[in-house]
Structure 1
């Protein structure tokens, strides 16, 4: 399982970076790939007991959620005003 989380996180992160770098109409989906990478890498960090990596990924998850919000995706815990 640890190997799966490591590879899923790495490949999802690369996909997210590629999508954002293309600067096309599908670029916003890069934020979702980053979120998947964050979740996988959080599991990986917990599985191997690396808490510096865990803190980093929690911070990256916050930026991914901000990117998802700014890209126009609805977040279930954010209510629209109006």
Structure 2
């Protein structure tokens, strides 16, 4: 069932993201991408089980993940010099 898969994928990606950030290594920044994917999976899961408190929480976590992705340098665009 799709909702079961979303629950497991979201949980495992969340753990992976936490592990990557906790290692404080050069690959740690990829933990934010894992968190974002986990947030999206858990949002789908929350919709699937009609749990809107969980949905709100995951939407909030998604914004913190996007902030982490930005601060890690994934979304920065270098300005070109004329």
Question: What's the TM-score once normalised by structure 1's chain length?
Answer: 0.91
Root-mean-square deviation over aligned CA pairs: 1.5
Could you say which residue in structure 2 is the equivalent of 1:46? 47
Larger radius of gyration between Structure 1 and Structure 2: 2
**Matching of residues 1-82 of structure 1 within 5 Å:** 1-74=2-75
Residues 1-35 of structure 1: CA deviation (Å, up to 9, x unaligned): 00100000000000000000000000000000000
Which portions of structure 1, spanning 4 or more consecutive aligned residues, are displaced by more than 2 angstroms?
79-82
Consecutive unaligned residues in structure 1, runs of 5 or more: none
Residues 28-73 of structure 1: CA deviation (Å, up to 9, x unaligned): 0000000000000000000000000000000000000000000000
Consecutive unaligned residues in structure 2, runs of 5 or more: none
Question: What's the TM-score once normalised by structure 2's chain length?
Answer: 0.91
Name the SS for the 2:26 alignment partner: coil
Question: For this pair of structures, how many residues does the alignment match?
Answer: 79
